[in-house]
Amino acid sequence: MKTLKISTLVFMAIILNGVAIAQNVKVVSGNLNFLKGQSTLKVEYDYGNGDMDVGRYENESDYIKDKIKEKNEKEPGSGDAWYEAWVSNRKERFQPKFEESVNIKLENSGLIICSDCEDAEFTMILKTHSTEPGFNVGITRRPAWISVEIIFVETKNPNIELSKIKIEKAVQRKNAGGFDFDVAYRIENAYWNCGEKLGKFLVKNALK
């Protein structure tokens, strides 16, 4: 009887975990029927112009201000260098990771996403509204994750919103070779995971 109860609890945990994962990506408005038959989908990025919350900070502007001050006090000029990297990593690391990950999942669907698909009929805007940078200090660690909204619009009429998807807490992939001591590595792998989730969702719910 005890073994049966344990087995039942394990089974229920698996079911509930599956439900939680399934609910991690959801359409909150519209539908994705317009993607059928499309070969390209343009992607743009929105980081909230300082309003995105970062870690315990309610807006990115305060996070940046404190980080620059903290680093410059330890080593003059290092805070300014940190800020340059914080911004440039988006285009140089996070966005390419996201696009690569989505396109791997879309490989056999006939659709690709890209930032320079100017002839694409539709555009998806990836708006990051929460970033957890995480940390790894050897003894303790917290993985990075991002939460995003993905808004689909007509490329020529961007005011026409066709659909909106939310992806909550796309967590970085597991540490590979200890590289997640680097915050940019952690965040870019959260974008990779976000891309995987979106790609799988599109293949299953829009492109079959």
The mean predicted confidence, pLDDT, of the chain is 87
- How does pLDDT run across 54-106, given as a tens digit for each residue? 999 999 999 999 999 999 999 999 999 999 999 999 999 999 999 999 999 99
The pLDDT of residue 137: 78
- How does pLDDT run across 184-205, given as a tens digit for each residue? 999 999 999 999 999 999 999 9
- How does pLDDT run across 164-181, given as a tens digit for each residue? 999 999 999 765 555 667
Global pTM value:
0.86
The pLDDT of residue 177: 52
Count of Cβ atoms closer than 10 Å to residue 206 Cβ:
19
How far is residue 188's CA from residue 155's CA, in Å, rounded to a whole number? Answer: 26
What does the DSSP 8-state code read for residue 93?
Answer: I
Report all structural domains of the chain as residue ranges with CATH numbers, in order of start.
24-205 (3.40.50)
Determine which helix (DSSP H) or strand (DSSP E) holds 43, and give its type and residue range.
Answer: strand 40-46
Output phi, psi for 127, to 5 deg.
-105, 110
pLDDT band with cut points at 50, 70 and 90 for residue 13 = very low
Contacts of 60 (CB under 8 A, 6+ apart): 47, 48, 50, 51, 52, 53, 54, 131
Q: Report the percent of the chain where pLDDT is more than 90.
A: 76
The pLDDT of residue 175: 56
Q: Answer whether 191's CB lies under 8 Å from 98's CB.
A: yes
How far is residue 73's CA from residue 41's CA, in Å, rounded to a whole number? Answer: 45
CA distances from 8 to 1, 11, 14, 15, 77 (A): 11, 5, 10, 11, 58
The pLDDT of residue 179: 60
CA 132, 64, 58, 166 dihedral sign is negative
pLDDT band with cut points at 50, 70 and 90 for residue 107 = very high
Q: How many CA atoms lie within 13 A of 49 on its CB side?
A: 0
